[in-house]
Amino acid sequence: MLSVITEEVLEAAREMNRRDVRRVQQIYETGREPDDVGSPEEEDDKIWAKYKGIKGLKGVEDLPLKMGGSYYSWGPYSRNRRILADIALAAGWGVDKARILEERCVNMNAKHLAGVSSSMDMSHPSQPRKKSGQPFTFQHISWTFLRGYIEREIKDMDPTKLAIIKAAVLDLYGTNSKSGEKMILACQGERKDDEALPVTDADIEAAQEEIDKQERYFTALRAFYNERDSFVPPNKVKLRIKAFIKAKGMSQQDFCNAIGVTEDQLEEFMLEGKRRPQFESKVFHNAVPYMQKANGK
């Protein structure tokens, strides 16, 4: 498989992150864009071009593939190379571990495309190619697939880094595979690191909460379909909470402290009518086990 990640790519990504942090802070402080800034492709090309070891992908005529005005992109989605580098930087990985993620994502997408279209040549599975003869790389994977692949593989490879990668990489890139930019936000707080983690602790905590909410939702959904006899639906949980607080003579605050939620979270759950937000709620997941234990069940 043709890899798109090297030490020079990591260094280029560090430089791009420093540039983007400086730019957004200037906009935040002055209220206007710098005068000498070109298009995102042009600005990235200036940095890619500085590193002699970063070469563009060659096509069947041995000519560099040009996309988005860049001879330094490896394929249809030139930003994917930076995305992979950003993940490695955020996770604290070296090139070797980044290549494991790269290979897994390439293999998954190549097999998927081979199964649904005739565009792939899988005669050598470890060296997937397009029918044109062009090597199939990490930069050929559209964001529609790539984000899901990354999240799945990070959970397997380095699960404690998923929130950091979500906050510092996945949530900052636009959804358009070709034109979506990395949008580092201006902030008054202190970023973790301008080169690798251009986000604050609060951003990482928010990302972790989003991950936890998704896990709670799918846990509840599995129970809803597979554990019908023991599953307690949200409307009944709400009734049980009201009855339990009254029977135990507890204050709402004491009950919230006991199940590890805030009073606002309890209020939101009690008023919510849609299934997904209820399934995502910490109240829904924590209240029933606590009440059962308190009642000796």
pLDDT given for residue 26 in this prediction? 84
pLDDT given for residue 64 in this prediction? 52
pLDDT given for residue 36 in this prediction? 67
Residue length, the chain?
297
Say if residues 152 and 107 touch (Cβ distance below 8 Å).
no
- For range 97-106, the mean pLDDT: 97
8-22, 71-85, 133-147, 195-209: segment of lowest average pLDDT: 71-85
pLDDT given for residue 53 in this prediction? 73
The pLDDT tens digits of the residues spanning 270-297 come to 999 999 999 999 999 999 999 999 988 7
Looking at this protein, which amino acid is placed at residue 243?
A
Per-residue pLDDT band at 264 (split at 50, 70, 90): very high
56-70, 130-144, 145-159, 245-259: segment of lowest average pLDDT: 56-70
pLDDT given for residue 77 in this prediction? 81
21-25, 145-149, 185-189: segment of lowest average pLDDT: 185-189
- With CA atoms as reference, report the closest residue to 20 among 47, 1, 53, 2: 47
Per-residue pLDDT band at 48 (split at 50, 70, 90): confident
pLDDT above 60 (res 74): no
pLDDT given for residue 167 in this prediction? 96
CA distance 260 to 265: 10
**Which region holds residue 180: left if phi is over 0, alpha if psi is between -120 and 50, else beta?**
beta
Per-residue pLDDT band at 57 (split at 50, 70, 90): low
Q: Tell me the pTM.
A: 0.86
Which DSSP string corresponds to the chain? ------HHHHHHHHHHHHHHHHHHHHHHHHSS--TT---HHHHHHHHHTT-TT--PPB-TTS-B--BTTBSS--SS-TTHHHHHHHHHHHHT--HHHHHHHHHHHHHHHHHHHHHH-S-EE-SSTTS-EETTSPBP-GGG--HHHHHHHHHHHHHHH-GGGHHHHHHHTGGGB-S-TTTPPB-PPP-SS--SBTTTB-S-HHHHHHHHHHHHHHHHHHHHHHHHHH-TTT---HHHHHHHHHHHHHHHT--HHHHHHHHT--HHHHHHHHH--SHHHHHH-HHHHHHHHHHHHHTT-
Say if residues 72 and 45 touch (Cβ distance below 8 Å).
yes
The pLDDT tens digits of the residues spanning 227-249 come to 989 999 999 999 999 999 999 99
- For range 8-15, the mean pLDDT: 94
pLDDT above 90 (res 105): yes
pLDDT above 50 (res 72): no
pLDDT above 50 (res 75): no
pLDDT given for residue 79 in this prediction? 86
CA distance 4 to 87: 13
Angstrom CA distances, 10 to 21, 51, 77, 141, 259, stand at 17, 11, 18, 20, 44
Angstrom CA distances, 125 to 111, 138, 225, stand at 9, 15, 38
- For range 199-204, the mean pLDDT: 94
Per-residue pLDDT band at 61 (split at 50, 70, 90): low
pLDDT given for residue 56 in this prediction? 58
Per-residue pLDDT band at 73 (split at 50, 70, 90): very low
